[in-house]
Structure 1
Amino acid sequence: MNVAVVTVGDELLAGRTENTNATWLCTRFDERGIDVERVTTLPDRVGDIARVVNEYRAEYDAVVVTGGLGPTHDDLTMEGVAAAFGRSLERNDEALAWLESEGGYAREDLTAGTADLPRGARPLHNVEGVAPGCVVGSVYVLPGVPAEMEAMFAAIVDEFDGEPRHREVVVADEPESALVGRLEAVQEEFDVVVGSYPGESVRITVQSPDPAVVEAATAWLRERVEEVEEVEE
């Protein structure tokens, strides 16, 4: 399964708010063996949201959109998602009923538009806030507030199913440029994906769905690279 993550908000693009939602979602998907192939941040503009969601829903198994939910003037994500599907925004009675019965809100106290969702959307209830999310086709729309987003994602996480993956790390005490030949060779020898991440040392990750292959490839590497020595305290 592959997914695209879309985060919405002028404040993200201005650097006023750190985009922790993207990192959190990517981590959760990686844990489930799901490939995140795009992370895109968009301004609060209906046209941009509609264009990108429409493009990504045709290209990826699922699109997860966060941010810009609610009834205020700059909460435009639902309108953009509705436009991507050529649908109108309509009051969702299921979402309203949940807000009254479980959220404890009187209908007349809710700001107009709070429960407006794309026509035919499946509502996702917000147990940590007010504004509901929704699912339209393969597009999942979640709040931008991290606590709200994480709680809502927990309710749908089982809808994302990937291939289990296994990973081991070798830390090399050599320049990355000196390791190129051996990194190419281990991928030719074994059916693994290898990544290298330089810093004070080079972290080499070895990944495969098969734990035995990962173990064999890692052993092969350890015989051929100079590893960082552990310092005894």
Structure 2
Amino acid sequence: MKVAVVTVGNELLAGRTTDTNATWLCKRLDDRGVVVDRVTTVPDRIADIARVVNEYRAEYDAVIVTGGLGPTHDDLTMDGVAAALGRSLEEHEAALAWLEEDGYSRDDLASGTTTLPAGARALHNEDGVAPGAAIENVYILPGVPSEMKTMFEAIAHEFEGTPTYRETVVAAEPESALLERIADLREGFDVAVGCYPGESVRIELESADEDAVEAAATWLRERVEPP
């Protein structure tokens, strides 16, 4: 399963808010064996949201969009997704019923709070007010991290991929000195290899084949200088 993550917000692009949602989602999806191929941040503009969602929904198994939910002037994510899918926006009775069960009346809610793309499945916001939505292969989650995390966990079972196994080998050598051994590793083992330099070099080995990862890690550890 391949997924794209889209985060929405002018404040993210201006650097006023750190995009922790994308990092958290990527980790949770990776834990479930799902490949995240794109992480994209777009401004609070309907046209930008619609263009990116429309492109990604055709290319990936699912698109997860976070941020821009609610009734204020810059909460435009539902509008953008509706435009991408060619849907109108309409009040969602199930979402309204959930909020009424939570103690809100229609009069308490700002206009647009429960407005979702036509035909969407409402996703209940256990930690907030603005509902999320799922429509076709697009999932729309809140931008508030606590709300986003709770909502994702409720639908996490819908994201299943192939389990991936990893081993990390740390070498107290310059990355440039390891190039020949890493080339031999790539040639001899069917694993993906990533090198991350720092005080030491962290070499991460990854594959859907657990035995291949363990064999590659053993081979490499015997050939590098440990820290």
Query: What TM-score, normalized by structure 2, do the two folds share?
Result: 0.99
Q: CA deviation at 1:183?
A: 1.2
- Counterpart of 1:119, as a letter, is A
Task: Report the 3-state secondary structure (helix = DSSP H, G, I; strand = E; otherwise coil) of the residue aligned with 2:148.
Answer: helix
Q: CA deviation at 1:181?
A: 1.6
Partner of 2:91: 91
Partner of 2:217: 218
Partner of 2:130: 131
Task: Report the 3-state secondary structure (helix = DSSP H, G, I; strand = E; otherwise coil) of the residue aligned with 1:65.
Answer: strand
- Counterpart of 1:47, as a letter, is A
1:19 aligns with 2:6: no
Partner of 1:77: 77
C-alpha distance after superposition, 1:135-194 (max 9, x if no partner)? 010000000000000000010000000111111111001111111121121121111111
Task: Report the 3-state secondary structure (helix = DSSP H, G, I; strand = E; otherwise coil) of the residue aligned with 1:87.
Answer: coil
Q: CA deviation at 1:70?
A: 0.2
Task: Report the 3-state secondary structure (helix = DSSP H, G, I; strand = E; otherwise coil) of the residue aligned with 2:111.
Answer: coil
Q: CA deviation at 1:33?
A: 1.2
Partner of 1:66: 66
Q: CA deviation at 1:127?
A: 0.4
C-alpha distance after superposition, 1:10-31 (max 9, x if no partner)? 0000111010000000110111
Give every structure 1 segment of 4 or more consecutive aligned residues whose post-TM-superposition deviation is greater than 2 Å. Answer: none
How far, CA to CA, are the matches of 1:109 and 1:19 in structure 2?
Answer: 30
1:54 aligns with 2:66: no
Q: How many residues align?
A: 227
- Counterpart of 1:125, as a letter, is H
Q: CA deviation at 1:56?
A: 0.2
How far, CA to CA, are the matches of 1:171 and 1:203 in structure 2?
Answer: 5
Partner of 1:40: 40
Q: CA deviation at 1:219?
A: 0.6
Q: CA deviation at 1:104?
A: 1.4
1:105 aligns with 2:104: yes
Partner of 1:231: none
Partner of 1:151: 150
Partner of 1:177: 176
The CA RMSD measured in Å over matched residues stands at 0.7
- Counterpart of 1:69, as a letter, is L
How far, CA to CA, are the matches of 2:172 and 2:196 in structure 1?
Answer: 12
Deviates most, 46-55 or 218-227: 218-227
How far, CA to CA, are the matches of 1:200 and 1:213 in structure 2?
Answer: 27
C-alpha distance after superposition, 1:74-128 (max 9, x if no partner)? 0000000000001111000111011112x21111211111000000000000000
How far, CA to CA, are the matches of 1:112 and 1:20 in structure 2?
Answer: 29
1:30 aligns with 2:36: no
- Counterpart of 2:28, as a letter, is R
Q: Which runs of 5+ in 1 are unaligned?
A: 229-233
Task: Report the 3-state secondary structure (helix = DSSP H, G, I; strand = E; otherwise coil) of the residue aligned with 1:4.
Answer: strand
Q: Which runs of 5+ in 2 are unaligned?
A: none
How far, CA to CA, are the matches of 1:4 and 1:180 in structure 2?
Answer: 32
Deviates most, 210-219 or 7-16: 210-219
- Counterpart of 1:113, as a letter, is G
* Identity among equivalent pairs (%): 69
Query: What TM-score, normalized by structure 1, do the two folds share?
Result: 0.96
Q: CA deviation at 1:225?
A: 1.1
How far, CA to CA, are the matches of 1:183 and 1:155 in structure 2?
Answer: 41
